[in-house]
Structure formats: structure tokens, C-alpha cells
Chains A and B, each alone.
Chain A
Amino acid sequence: MAVKKDYKDQKLVEKLQDRNYYVSDSNPEFIKEVERLGRTAAHMCYQCGTCTGSCPSAPRSSYRIRLFMRKAILGLEEEVLTDPDLWLCTTCYSCTDRCPRNLAPTDAIMAMRNLAFKRDIVPRNFLKTVQAIYKTGHGVPNNDANRAARKKLGLDEEPETTHKYPEYLPGLRKIIDHYKMKEKADRILAEGE
């Protein structure tokens, strides 16, 4: 004999019974964008949860990669892009390595972050890295203590990078400027002040 499932939440019951239920702010194009940027067929996800089970961030936060995959497929763009958990993926690729559908959930997350950035949603530390690289060519630049240590080791005080050859910086900056990334980082950081 079949057991009838019962939910206490009356609104939810109504939703589930409504065959024409439709989330008005769902964007069916969203998953296509995620797939294009992430270069992975994210809509193939069958929600097995291997990803969340492999995730080092999951046991210590509310970040659930499986949930992001589902929400992306459902087109819940707003919910996905404004969720602070989106930035808790360490990009360890354990989920991608183990996904039985051969998907890359990590790259889907990266794509969603790219889409968030398009709407100016981005943690400040990412923007500060942009500024550092624009200025010096390095995300983690040299400093005086390190210069002294390098000298003692018999290395040049500046490594053989844009640090020692700043004439390479204009080319690098042109690339960043092409995508207006520095401009955008400056603006968002200034607005947050």
C-alpha cells in the first residue's frame, strides 16, 4: 500500500500540488551561461551528492556544491549570485575528480563567480589582488625583508620577473585594461569605502 507523503507546511503542499507552478524570477538562460563559461555540461547533474561529500568546505559551513548545481539548473540566478557561500569553494577539484557524470562542478562554480563579478558582486580580497598585480605584476609582491634574504642567498634582490624588468609591465597592464578589470576593481573598492 502506498504511503502518502505529508508536509506540515501548507504553502509547500499547495506548491507541490500545483502542476503549473512556476518561479517567476527563474532564468532558463542562466544554466546555459554557466555551461558556456565553465565549459562543462552542468545540466547533466543528477544530484547524487558525491561533490558535496568530497568537499573540504562542506563540513565547516553551509556551502553545498550540489545545491548550487541544482539552483543553477533551475535558473535561480539571483539566489545563486547573491549567496556568500559561492566564495567558499577552495577550487580543490575533488568534486570534479569524482563526479560520476564527468562534470566539472568546480568550473561551474568558477563560471557562477564570473557571472557574479559581471554584476559587481565580488569579495574585496579578489579586487585587491587585481590591484597588486596591476601595480607590480605580482599578486604577492616583493618586500624589503625578502630582498635582504635574497641577497644573502646570492640571488638578485629582485626576481627575474616584472620586478626586475618593469618594462614588461605596460604590456601586462594593457591586457588587464582590455577587459577593464583594474578600472572595475578600483570603482567597486572605492564604492565600498
Chain B
Amino acid sequence: MSGNNRQYAFFLGCIAPNRYPGIEASAIRTSANLGIDLLPLKGASCCPAPGAFGAIDLNVWYAMAARNIVLAEQMGMDITLICNGCYKSIYEVNEKLKHNDDLRDGANEVLAEIDMEFKGTIDVWHLAELYYDPKIVGIDKIAESVTRPLTGAKIAVHYGCHLLKPGKERHFGDTENPMWIEELVAALGAEPVQYRNKMQCCGAGGGVRGYDLAHALDITNEKMINLQEVGADALTEVCPFCQLQYDRGQVEIEEKFGIEWGLPVLHYNELLGLAQGMSPDELALDLHAVDVEPFLKKIL
């Protein structure tokens, strides 16, 4: 931790800390190398999952997300996070409560019962957008931080849904064929590859993974077909829930459909960790369901 570093309250969510802790570990270390300190947001909960909670009672979704936001307001810090699902809940509820009195009053009525109040004093950022923003980090600084370039690896990007869409409620520009995460990948020395229907959903969201697994996996499988066509060595994303769906999903696809893909799936922070010299052990890559070894052989 250095005195000049920017500080953010680090919202963890569920799947990164509880299933892929390497994402959490690498986010903290790689960000520190880039001048960003991620401080614990003590007592935060599930965002809560927009598909699971928003789908059945939006009021609970607003109030529970607001509680997480208020914890950061009390620290006087903006939130940053590493998951698109969390981004939808935390970013969107923060914006909705800031701009709609009825929603804010509704949430505050409940929060008052636990001596909390949503004030609307902070902003919420996905860590990937802080990396891309030249005023915070920027592509050049990312490239400078690389000690082990991922040369020779063809990496496809899955943007996920809730970071960029709906575009009119976000600030990321083009949602049909964005290229900024490809720029972040290229900064690591890898070759970003384009593929058909890049913006298609992983299939897991909206509670569909739990409701109809075969349906969700069929959507996932379509992406696998499109990725194989272009010969990607790995898929990267900025959402642990998408990662879970693509990584564990491949095992489930094999069980259910008898198709074996064997495509390694890595969160951008895990890639960045590798490029900054972290070892596979320091990233707990052995927790991935799909063996990451073929990809590591290519770059190490």
C-alpha cells in the first residue's frame, strides 16, 4: 500500500471469494501494482443477485443493494467490483436511488430500521473500467506492468451482459461490438481474437441456470462452437458468474450433451496476474474445472 495510491472499497460478491478466490487475490495484487488499493468492505453481503432477487421482489433487491452501498458511504469511498452481476445490482441501484425519490424513500424506510440511510454520496465502478480509464490506470500503464507477456496466446473476450447493457443506462458506448477489453488483453501481449455473436449471454443469468440447466448450457454451448471456429486458446471475462458458467458449464455440457471442449476460462484479473508474474499456484488455477495447463504451456 502506498501513500499515493487511489483507494476504493472492494465489493467482493459471492462467486469470486467463495469459488474462485484466485480472482480476489489477483485483483488485490495486480491493482496495487497499478496504483489502486482495494480496501475491505466489511460486512457486505451478496449484491444481491439481480436475477434471483430482482426477479421475485424488486423492493428487496433495492434495499439489500442499498445496504451494501451505505457500508461504502460510511467509509467515504467509491466502490469497485469485479463481477458484472454485482455491477448491475450495486451500480444500478446506486444510480436508481440517486435519481428517483420514490425508490430512495422506499429503501430508506427499511434501512431506518437498522439505523442506516442511503445518501447517494459515492460512485460505483467495475475494476476493468478503472483499468481502461487513462485518468486512473490506462492501457499504457497496464502494458508497463507486464513482466511476463502472454505472447502467442489467442484470447477471446466475453463481455457479459450486465456491465454494458442496457447501453442507455450505462456509459460504455457501443454495446454491439465493443473493443475496449480486447485492448486490455492486447496490453498483456496476447492476441485478442474476434468470433461470431460475441455479445451473446453466457446463459446463466436471470435464474435460468438454476431453473433449467440444460437450456442455460445450450446457450453456453453455442458460444463454445463459435470460439472453436476461431481457434481461441482461452476465453477471458470480467464476471465470475460467467466464468462459473463457462468453466463448470463445460463439465456439465460433457455430462449432459457428450461434447468435450476443454477451453480454459480465465477472469481478466487472473490473466493480468499471470502477465505480472504471479504463479498459477498464487492464482489457485487448480480450482478451475477445465484444466488451464494447455494455456499455461503456451505462455510460460
Interface residues of A (CB under 8 A from B): 37, 56-57, 60-61, 87-94, 96-97, 102, 104, 106, 110-111, 113-114, 117, 122-123, 125-126, 128-130, 133, 137-143, 146, 149-150, 152-155, 159-165, 167-168, 170-172, 174-176, 178-179, 181
Contacts and interface: CB of A to CB of B under 8 A. Distances in A.
B18 A97 contact: no
Given A155-B21, A175-B114, 18 more contacts: A56-B201, A60-B218, A87-B206, A88-B208, A91-B205, A92-B206, A97-B166, A110-B54, A113-B56, A138-B14, A140-B15, A161-B45, A163-B18, A164-B42, A168-B42, A172-B45, A178-B113, A181-B60
B63 A60 contact: no
22 contacts: A57-B208, A61-B215, A87-B55, A90-B216, A91-B161, A92-B206, A93-B161, A94-B165, A126-B56, A126-B211, A129-B52, A133-B48, A138-B18, A139-B14, A139-B46, A140-B14, A150-B21, A161-B12, A161-B41, A168-B42, A168-B43, A171-B67
Interface in B143-175: 161-162, 165-168, 175
B192 interface: no
A154 B292 CA distance: 21
B67 A92 contact: no
B282 A167 contact: no
A142 B211 contact: no
Contact of A181 (B57, B215, B219, B282): B57
Contacts of A181: 56-57, 60
Contacts of B42: 160-161, 164-165, 168
B207 interface: yes
Given A97-B175, A114-B56, A172-B45, A56 B207 contact: no
B113 A159 contact: no
Chain B contact patch, size range: 35 or more
A22 B51 CA distance: 36
Contacts of B56: 113-114, 117, 122, 126, 130, 181
